Chains A and B, each alone.
Chain A
Amino acid sequence: MQNSTFNLILRRLIGAIPSLFAVIVVTFMVMRLLPGDPAAFFAGAAASAEAVEQVRHQLGLNESLLTQFWIYLKDLAQGDMGKSFTTGQPVTHDLMERLPASLELTLLGLLIAIVIGLPLGMLAATRPNSWIDHLCRLLTTSGVCLPTFFTGLVLIYIFYYLLGWAPAPMGRLDLFSSPPQDVTGFYLIDSAITGEWAIFRSALAQLILPAITLALFALAPLARMTRAGMLGVLNSDFIRSAKAAGLPRRVILVRYALRNTLLPVINTMGMVLSYLLGINVLVEKVFAWPGIGSYALEALIASDYAPVQGFVLSIAVLYVLLNLVVDLVCSLIDPRVERAA
């Protein structure tokens, strides 16, 4: 068993390599299509023709596209994604510094969506046409229509301006707290480890609105899939047998029905993650969240392309890896997938 699990993981890892490579190629190509001459841009407005030529040589822009791609690959292998003008730091350094902020937000959003979405879908499926079914339908229909940036602003208006429950939407901590000791980079985990509960509370307070904004969007597909899957499973023969055998309702629902529903739901998770990672950029802008999305946006406005390229690449890689995890979880919870593969 141990061995087969290991084999499975290995096979999936190897299977992800083509996607990763494709992602690198596309990112490279898109950024090579850039309008204007990067050499002239790097050399500065006052540079002479020779200086521009020299910079072009330095950047390797005289080489063929293939050679340039090779150089790019080699740099990437060494973790070098170029330098940002605006911060003056290597892009890799900036991204690593800001990645935990984005991940903490995205994962908490996903967690909230799962914690609310799964039970909601289950309850809706077990009680068709009840008020909870209607609530579920309302949430799933409206969830995908709400522009995330707009939901975020509405939440800020209600919970910050009107009610005063939430802190000002200005980043990861309020003005009076300093970041906890850096262990994982996730403020919630770090402050919990070191036992600084005041910081934990402050970080949580800042996180909650943006995370709910993300969750509202992710909730819809999750609840919808759970409801549809559950409805299908509840009509199947083995549930009827379980009922006839007099098993308690809770056992039927959780042990029999939910487990069989989970597979399509986890498969949807890949799509949900794609949405979440994209939408993260919008939420980070609305809440002035210092993650990699807002970093890329600032760079984009300043025509600073190395960070944008680094951002697109790291998000895409992250997405491929998270999908890999989803795949693995899928085949671990359902042996049928493994056998089919």
Chain B
Amino acid sequence: MKQFEEWRYLLLQNPLTLIALIVFIGVVICALFAPWLVPYDPFASDTVNALQPPSANNWFGTDQLGRDIFSRVIMGARMDLGIAVGAVALAAAIGTFLGACAGFYGGHFDQAVGRGVDIIMAFPLFVLAMAIVAGLGNNVINVVYASAIINMPFYVRVVRSEILILKNAGFVEAARLCGNSNKRILWFQLLPNVSAPLVVQMSLNMGWSMLNAASLSFVGLGIRPPTPEWGIMVAEGAHYIISGQWWVALFPGLALTLVVLCFNLLGDGLRDIIDPRRRT
């Protein structure tokens, strides 16, 4: 209960974080219950009503095949959020493991991991993601892998540097004197202490992964039409921008911007709450 009081106080102190949290919950609900929320079938084309501007019937207008853009934007939340969650979870899991072992044990393993991270960081990351998707094959699961690979270095670095600081702390010494093995100290003493910066990093990373996934599908890699996905929808709308049909590209683009903004605000807010020293 005390914990709850504290959280409430902190969120009221940071109204932006509160708003971001509300939007985030809304997006998650959209993603989970999209098929039951949409007013129209997002795949049903109706060529008679193609490229209609927003109206009372089609809130966001219709696209070149007469599909309802509002329904497609809602459905799109699923795809983009799913990819981002998958990529971040995978990157965080592998990155934490590698970073923790590298920081704790040091030596050759540390050097090998460091080299690997350097190699990934030697590429412009979006171009590396493009190459990986092109190399592994053009499908959704490979977009998740590619995003995970380009996100991983950040986790390795964050976790490694935290562990390096923590492993000389008194409580580690105490745990060792109590007879805990190295493995036990690493997983039960050190990792829980790393979780705070890790959560912040994950939240900031979510937005970035989403941008990446949408950018990849915008250039035609990964997800293919007619899947409702924001990047593809903007790419389709791009053809109609110069003839003035703004609504085809605008709404999916706005949705993407809004969700990424909300993730970043949430990440900043979490950082302020968890670690007041790093406020900027």
* A179 in the interface (beta carbon within 8 A): no
Instruction: Write the nearest CB–CB distance from A77 to chain B, whole angstroms.
Output: 20
| CB neighbours of B237 from chain A (8 A) | 153
Which residue of A146, A169, A282 contacts B242 across the interface (Cβ within 8 Å)?
A169
Produce 1/0 per residue, A286-305, CB < 8 A to B. Answer: 10000000001100110001
Q: Please choose the segment from A61-69, A137-145, A243-251 that sits at the chain B interface, where 4 or more of its residues have CB less than 8 A away.
A: A137-145
- The reply to whether B242 and A156 form a contact with Cβ atoms under 8 Å apart is yes
Interface residues of A in 247-261 (CB under 8 A from B): none
Q: How far is the CA of A315 from the CA of B218 in the complex (A)?
A: 20
Given A149-B234, A153-B237, A277-B124, A19:B242 Cβ within 8 A: no
- The reply to whether A33 and B136 form a contact with Cβ atoms under 8 Å apart is yes
- The reply to whether A22 and B122 form a contact with Cβ atoms under 8 Å apart is yes
Given A141-B261, A145-B261, A153:B280 Cβ within 8 A: no
Q: How far is the CA of A119 from the CA of B83 in the complex (A)?
A: 38
Given A147-B253, A154-B253, A286-B238, A297:B131 Cβ within 8 A: no
* A228 in the interface (beta carbon within 8 A): yes
* A238 in the interface (beta carbon within 8 A): no
| CB neighbours of B219 from chain A (8 A) | 281-282, 285, 297, 300
Q: Please choose the segment from A23-31, A41-49, A80-88 that sits at the chain B interface, where 4 or more of its residues have CB less than 8 A away.
A: A23-31
Q: Please choose the segment from B66-74, B104-112, B207-215 that sits at the chain A interface, where 4 or more of its residues have CB less than 8 A away.
A: B207-215
| CB neighbours of B119 from chain A (8 A) | 19, 22-23, 26
- The reply to whether B261 and A274 form a contact with Cβ atoms under 8 Å apart is no
* A132 in the interface (beta carbon within 8 A): no
Given A26-B123, A285-B218, A300-B220, A168:B118 Cβ within 8 A: no
Instruction: Write the nearest CB–CB distance from B261 to chain A, whole angstroms.
Output: 4
| CB neighbours of A150 from chain B (8 A) | 234, 249, 253, 256-257
* B97 in the interface (beta carbon within 8 A): no
* B130 in the interface (beta carbon within 8 A): yes
Instruction: Write the nearest CB–CB distance from B206 to chain A, whole angstroms.
Output: 12
Interface on chain B toward A: helix, strand, loop, or mixed SS?
helix
Which residue of A22, A147, A169, A312 contacts B127 across the interface (Cβ within 8 Å)?
A312
Interface on chain A toward B: helix, strand, loop, or mixed SS?
helix
| CB neighbours of B260 from chain A (8 A) | 144-145, 147
* B40 in the interface (beta carbon within 8 A): no
| CB neighbours of B127 from chain A (8 A) | 277-278, 281, 311-312, 315-316
* A325 in the interface (beta carbon within 8 A): no
* A192 in the interface (beta carbon within 8 A): no
Which residue of A141, A146, A224, A316 contacts B124 across the interface (Cβ within 8 Å)?
A316
* B125 in the interface (beta carbon within 8 A): yes
* B134 in the interface (beta carbon within 8 A): yes
Interface residues of A in 154-173 (CB under 8 A from B): 154, 156-157, 160-161, 168-169
**Which residue of A is nearest B256, CB measured?**
A147
* B192 in the interface (beta carbon within 8 A): no
- The reply to whether A30 and B135 form a contact with Cβ atoms under 8 Å apart is yes
Given A147-B215, A150-B257, A308:B131 Cβ within 8 A: yes
- The reply to whether B215 and A142 form a contact with Cβ atoms under 8 Å apart is no
Q: How far is the CA of A311 from the CA of B126 in the complex (A)?
A: 13
| CB neighbours of B215 from chain A (8 A) | 147-149, 279, 282
- The reply to whether A161 and B125 form a contact with Cβ atoms under 8 Å apart is no
| CB neighbours of B249 from chain A (8 A) | 150, 153
Most buried by A among B126, B242, B249, B253: B126
- The reply to whether A274 and B218 form a contact with Cβ atoms under 8 Å apart is no
- The reply to whether A301 and B220 form a contact with Cβ atoms under 8 Å apart is yes
Given A26-B119, A156-B242, A31:B124 Cβ within 8 A: no
- The reply to whether B135 and A33 form a contact with Cβ atoms under 8 Å apart is yes
Given A141-B261, A144-B264, A160:B242 Cβ within 8 A: yes
Which residue of B135, B220, B241, B280 contacts A31 across the interface (Cβ within 8 Å)?
B135
* B226 in the interface (beta carbon within 8 A): no
* A275 in the interface (beta carbon within 8 A): yes
Instruction: Write the nearest CB–CB distance from B68 to chain A, whole angstroms.
Output: 20
- The reply to whether B122 and A19 form a contact with Cβ atoms under 8 Å apart is yes
* B244 in the interface (beta carbon within 8 A): yes
Produce 1/0 per residue, B240-257, CB < 8 A to A. Answer: 011110100110010011
Q: How far is the CA of A233 from the CA of B172 in the complex (A)?
A: 36
Which residue of B125, B132, B231 contacts A30 across the interface (Cβ within 8 Å)?
B132
| CB neighbours of A31 from chain B (8 A) | 131, 135
- The reply to whether B238 and A228 form a contact with Cβ atoms under 8 Å apart is no
* A319 in the interface (beta carbon within 8 A): yes
Most buried by A among B115, B122, B136: B122
Which residue of B115, B124, B218, B280 contacts A149 across the interface (Cβ within 8 Å)?
B218
Interface residues of B in 123-149 (CB under 8 A from A): 123-128, 130-132, 134-137
CB-based closest 7 A-B pairs: A278-B126, A150-B253, A145-B261, A30-B135, A277-B124, A22-B119, A278-B124
Could you tell me which B residues sit within 8 Å of A by CB distance? Answer: 115, 118-119, 122-128, 130-132, 134-137, 207, 211, 214-215, 218-221, 231, 234-235, 237-238, 241-244, 246, 249-250, 253, 256-257, 260-261, 264-265, 268, 280
Given contacts A147-B260, A153-B238, 9 further A-B contacts (CB under 8 A): A34-B135, A141-B268, A150-B257, A161-B246, A168-B242, A224-B280, A273-B124, A278-B124, A320-B122
